[in-house]
Structure 1
Amino acid sequence: MTLEPTSAAIIQLAWARHLGLDDDAFATAAERLASSAVDPGDPSNRIIRADDSAKEFVFLRLFGASVLVGPQWAVDAAAGLPDTELAQHVTLLTLTRSHGGHGRGSSALFFADDLPLRQPSEDLTVSQGNPEAIGLESLCPPDDVNEVGLQGLEHRFTIMHPEDEHATPVACGAYSEWESLLANMGVLVAPPWRRRGLGTLAASIAAHEALASGLTLQWKADVSNSGALAMARSLGFATGGLHASVLLG
């Protein structure tokens, strides 16, 4: 699905505020690009914010615009590198190695302002309780739990096993409000219940609750997580960019 122009502007505003940029930073960059013959990927056209107190070095590519935020030394080190290199987590690690750069990684960004409504093939029980989400996490590999971060997503919708008298959780779709404009999405499915469409259904439930609250949807997935990338596309999310970052010190 495609995004409405107003939705793209909302997404840009949310990211501008998240990165400490001026609210109109992306609009100004687009105007500058439209009035010149500069290649969109030219490093000279980047939005840059140098902050020597920053504890993180960030590269963002969003709807064709690129952003660098971090200490001046990191911004200077990245100045001549093309977006294709900065989008790779290993590049950021290399640039920041002497300053203790570590962690984070690179994530693909997907967005939606409307999605098809998916109906279950049978009656299901959906819980919004925290114990059920915690119970689901106990059934999943730690790496999956850490990547999704259900405990940081305040609105959770957990699908319970339809035939289990102990009400075992099998999948959870969740979101949190992000910069008061976006719904940052996450989905976790217990390993025995994967590839049955339950993750897609849980994501759809959470997404429509977020849309009903007036939020635009955001889905971040590690570039190496093929399952999460495929789910975002199957749900109808539109590709919007890429976010790469490292922690410093």
Structure 2
Amino acid sequence: MTLDHGTADIIQLAWARHLGLEDQAFAEALASGERIIRVDEEATSVQFVRLFGASALVGPGWAADAAASIPDEELAQHVTLMTLAREHGGHGLGAAALFFADDLPLQQPSDELTVSQAQRDAIELESRCPPDDVNEVGLADMAHHFTVIHDDDGRHVPVASSGYAEWEGLLAHLGVLVDPQWRRRGLGSLAASIAAHEALASGLTLQWPADVSNTGSLALARSMGFVTGGIHTRVLLGSAAPQSR
């Protein structure tokens, strides 16, 4: 699938606001070919974002100075930011490929199923999944959840869930989590389809971040029709606590 004309502008606007930049920052960067730099001496992380050919770096002044001569392709690599931040207590949050969609085919379940929007079911599902997966997705912290429930002899068991957080009233920042024992059954794409269409119905553009090393998430995003639009790389500084994207 492809994005409608103007969708990239909406995505760049949302990211500009998310990063504390001027609304037209990415459009101007694309026209000039220059990287956007926002120095924030109070920043608890260094972030590099590249969207549809324009890039931005947000962090303390020392990070901006150190990155000045480094090409975007290298700066997008997590190891590069880690190296820059080593003397400042840098610890990694990884690099995520950014996928987007403004429309998706509706996936219909083959059988009747129960879908819960309760946060408690998303939290219970997280307890059944590896910590790295839980931290990458940040499902329970999202405002909207759609959890597929399996009926196990009268006991409702959450097996897959997708949720989204609203960014700047423009983007639905999606995540999906599946119980390891229930993977490879299409439940992840089904849950993601439900969440995606709820977000689309609310007038939001879809954003799916997938860690560049998470082959399953990357493949799922592509199979559902999401379009690659950029990359987001982050390193936490000092004693800042890890956060979900």
In the superposition, the TM-score normalised over structure 1's length comes to: 0.92
Q: How does 1:145-164 map to 2 (within 5 A)?
A: 145-162=134-151, 164=153
- Name the residue aligned to 1:132: 121
CA distance in 2, matches of 1:164, 1:221: 35
CA distance in 2, matches of 1:205, 1:126: 9
Write the deviation string for residues 77-114 of structure 1: whole angstroms up to 9, x where unpaired: 01111112111111111111111111211110000000
The alignment status of 1:26 with 2:15, answered yes or no, reads no
The farther-off stretch of 5-14 and 129-138 is 129-138
In 1, Cα distance between equivalents of 2:32 and 2:79: 30
Aligned ranges 1:168-247 → 2 under 5 Å? 168-247=157-236
Instruction: Please give the alpha-carbon distance, in whole angstroms, between the structure 2 residues aligned to 1:142 and 1:53.
Output: 29
Aligned partners of 2:78 and 2:92 also within 8 Å:
no
Q: 1:63 aligns with which of 41, 44, 52?
A: 52
- Residue 31 (structure 1) shift: 2.6
The alpha carbon displacement at 1:150 in A equals 1.1
- Deviation of the 1:162 alpha carbon: 4.7
Moved more, 159-168 or 98-107: 159-168
2:152 and 2:110 mapped to 1: Cα distance?
Answer: 14
Distance 2:139 2:22 in 1: 30
* Distance in 2 between residues matched to 1:207 and 1:138, nearest whole Å: 24
1-side partners of 2:189 and 2:65: how far apart?
A: 42
Q: Report the residue type matching 1:165 in the other structure.
A: G
- Distance of 1:143 and 1:49 partners within structure 2: 30
Hey, what does 1:120 align to over in structure 2?
109
Greater alpha carbon shift after TM alignment, 165-174 vs 131-140: 131-140
Post-superposition shift, 1:154? 1.1
What is aligned with 2:243? none
Q: Does 1:15 align with 2:15?
A: yes
Query: How far off its partner does 1:163 sit?
Result: 5.5
SS in 2 for 1:81: coil
Question: Within 2, Cα distance between the matches of 1:134 and 1:53?
Answer: 32
One-letter code of the match for 2:6? T
Structure 1 segments (4+ residues) deviating >6 Å: none
Structure 2 unmatched ranges of 5 or more: 239-245
Unaligned runs of 5+ residues in structure 1 are 34-44
Give the number of the structure whose alpha-carbon radius of gyration is greater: 1
Task: Determine the C-alpha separation between the residues in 2 that align with 1:135 and 1:69.
Answer: 35
Equivalent AA in structure 2 for residue 80 of structure 1: S
Q: Retained in 2: the 8 A contact 1:124–1:162?
A: no
- How many residue pairs get matched? 238
User: What is the letter of the counterpart of residue 61 of structure 2?
Assistant: Q
CA distance in 1 between counterparts of 2:212 and 2:174 reads 16
Give, in whole Å, the separation in 2 of the partners of 1:29 and 1:142. Answer: 37
* Aligned residue number for residue 36 of structure 1: none
The offset of 1:30, in angstroms, is: 2.4
Separation in structure 2 between the aligned mates of residue 116 and residue 75 of structure 1, nearest angstrom: 42
The answer as to whether partners of 1:59 and 1:68 remain within 8 angstroms in 2 is yes
The Cα RMSD (Å) is: 1.2
